[in-house]
Amino acid sequence: MADTLERRAGRPAKNVLSRDLILATAITVLNRTGPEDFTMAALAKELGVKTPALYHHVGGKNDILAGMRQFVTAGIDYGVFKTLPWDEATVIWARSYRAAFAAHPYAISLLATVPVTGAHPTLVMYEEVSKGFRAAGWPEAKIVSAMVALENFILGSALDAVAPPDMMEPGDFAPDVPVYTNALRAGEGADPQLSRADQAFELGLAALVAGLAAFK
Amino acid sequence: MADTLERRAGRPAKNVLSRDLILATAITVLNRTGPEDFTMAALAKELGVKTPALYHHVGGKNDILAGMRQFVTAGIDYGVFKTLPWDEATVIWARSYRAAFAAHPYAISLLATVPVTGAHPTLVMYEEVSKGFRAAGWPEAKIVSAMVALENFILGSALDAVAPPDMMEPGDFAPDVPVYTNALRAGEGADPQLSRADQAFELGLAALVAGLAAFK
DNA sequence: ACCTGAACACCGTTCAAGT
DNA sequence: ACCTGAACACCGTTCAAGT
């Protein structure tokens, strides 16, 4: 709560809000309350303001969701394509990409479906990745497909990473699916350092990079 | 509209609704209206009924969303693991999996984030895939990771498939990202039969399967 | 221009009343 | 048990009034 003082109607001497403040606070509120309770009223309350005040700085709730994307994706490291071979760079990029989304568990569920439509930061990332791939000798026509395939895997993995940990548990149905249940248990013992989701991500990432190298 | 006749209050002689009818109609309404306009009122209207009547057969809107999943996933073909080698079976399974979700463009955005938590049909699919992998000599501890990695890629690809086609267009920023723009154009000419999303999916699927085979 | 206060249409859900 | 009708709390958004 930024301000508990009462405020009477009329323009205040100093602005209480700004677009950036609203977006940054939105991320905080969303991560605390979850998507269900992420309302304009809850956001306004956190900012110490009445709900309609928000509309002086943002277009509405959809505008806020779209604007939050840049805060989430700010942690993605695509600079490595300048210095490392494409396959090593891809692994680092993919891990930071997944981690950036997984750090905002509720944001991802809201952003996964909201289209990006030519956001500048995303395009800059595409440019850097494309450069890295081309410098490594990738044929022009396959670069975007390879990059998108990696992105698809990363986004799916981020959704998996924020899913409830018991999501794949057979529970009472275990006797019906013995082979799967055994495989699940065997996988748990494989590497105690990594979660089930982490293991799947690392195996898939290694496989995808190796496979792409072969199809280059 | 199932019924335009007026109906007075009180229990009708014959039931108008059932859980299955509500779920099947929900899919239809959602695919027509989109997630924004998919309301209990719109669903009730399509069924020729007042909104509160729905609550006699389903727990609420979340229950409806969860129940819709089985209708969406009904088209997934995992029977091929019984007859084909694991890598060929995986390709067919993955294509049908992505197609099933892509056939319900709005459902996927709502279902991508709703956890499955031990739904029986999903577990049966996991069992069949696990059996196929084990029969092919996969080590027990890696089966689930490989399957989940594939699922992550498939789900991400399905989201990509239903995204607006111009989502990756640089638009006015093209001069800022020349390498990416060139690669995008080169990719478009590569195979006129396949969409940009299809090309990325097919390349990624082939790479992932080949890579997994190498890491088996 | 930027805040509050009042109001609007709509949402999911509950519950009494009717058959 | 299963429908309608009326009601509830809450949602995002608009707009006049105040400074």
Query: What are B23-38's pLDDT values in tens digits?
Result: 999 999 999 999 999 9
Domain boundary among A13, A31, A59: A59
User: How distant is the alpha carbon of residue B100 from its chain centre?
Assistant: 5
The answer to whether residue A68 sits within a structural domain is: no
The answer to whether residue A66 sits within a structural domain is: no
In this model, does residue B1 exceed pLDDT 70? no
pLDDT attached to residue B147: 98
Question: Nearest CA to B173 among A113, A142, A125?
Answer: A125
The answer to whether residue B64 sits within a structural domain is: no
Taking C1' of C15 and every protein CA, the nearest residue is B52
| A193 in the same domain as A87 | yes
CATH number at residue B192: 1.10.357.10
Q: pTM to 2 decimals?
A: 0.93
Percent with pLDDT over 70 in chain B: 95
| A208 in the same domain as A134 | yes
Domain boundary among B16, B33, B59: B59
| B200 in the same domain as B109 | yes
Put simply, the answer to whether B168 touches A140 (Cβ < 8 Å) is no
Distance B29 CA to D3 C1' (A): 22
Q: Is the CB of B9 under 7 A from strand C?
A: yes
| B39 in the same domain as B88 | no
Structure token pair of residue A166: 């018991």
| A143 in the same domain as A101 | yes
Return all residues near A23 (Cβ < 8 A) that are at least 6 apart: A58, A64, A67, A68, A71
Answer whether A133's CB lies under 8 Å from A147's CB. yes
Put simply, the answer to whether A204 touches B118 (Cβ < 8 Å) is no
The answer to whether residue A175 sits within a structural domain is: yes
| A141 in the same domain as A191 | yes
Question: Nearest CA to A91 among A24, A175, A150, A9?
Answer: A150
Return all residues near A154 (Cβ < 8 A) that are at least 6 apart: A94, A97, A98, A101, B156
Distance A27 CA to D19 C1' (A): 31
pLDDT attached to residue A1: 41
Put simply, the answer to whether A130 touches B180 (Cβ < 8 Å) is yes
Q: Is the CB of A120 under 7 A from strand C?
A: no
The answer to whether residue A12 sits within a structural domain is: yes
pLDDT attached to residue B115: 65
pLDDT tens-digit series, residues B135-169: 999 999 999 999 999 999 999 999 999 888 888 99
Put simply, the answer to whether A154 touches B154 (Cβ < 8 Å) is no
Question: Nearest CA to B142 among B94, B199, B211?
Answer: B211
| A50 in the same domain as A157 | no
Taking C1' of D5 and every protein CA, the nearest residue is B9
pLDDT attached to residue A28: 96
Nearest CB to A180: which of B126, B197, B206?
B126
The answer to whether residue B68 sits within a structural domain is: no
In this model, does residue B2 exceed pLDDT 50? no
| B155 in the same domain as B78 | yes
| B50 in the same domain as B134 | no
Structure token pair of residue A119: 């956001």
Structure token pair of residue A68: 């939050």
- Residues in A closer than 8 angstroms to B36, CB to CB, are none
Task: Domain count for chain A, please give it.
Answer: 2
Residue-range definition of the domain harbouring residue A136: 73-214
| A129 in the same domain as A190 | yes
| A120 in the same domain as A91 | yes
CATH number at residue A10: 1.10.10.60
pLDDT tens-digit series, residues B73-125: 999 999 999 999 999 999 999 999 999 999 998 888 788 766 666 678 899 99
d(CA B48, CA B29) in angstroms, rounded, equals 13
- Residues in A closer than 8 angstroms to B145, CB to CB, are 187, 190, 196, 199-200, 203-204
| B128 in the same domain as B32 | no
d(CA A93, CA A75) in angstroms, rounded, equals 10
Distance B58 CA to C18 C1' (A): 22
Average pLDDT per run of 10 along chain A, which is 216 residues long?
68 96 97 94 98 98 93 94 97 97 87 71 95 98 98 95 88 96 94 94 98 96
Put simply, the answer to whether B152 touches A159 (Cβ < 8 Å) is yes
pLDDT attached to residue A165: 83
pLDDT attached to residue A117: 65
The answer to whether residue B53 sits within a structural domain is: yes
Structure token pair of residue A176: 């019906």
Return all residues near A156 (Cβ < 8 A) that are at least 6 apart: B151, B152, B153, B154, B155, B156, B157, B159
d(CA B85, CA B95) in angstroms, rounded, equals 16
The answer to whether residue B67 sits within a structural domain is: no
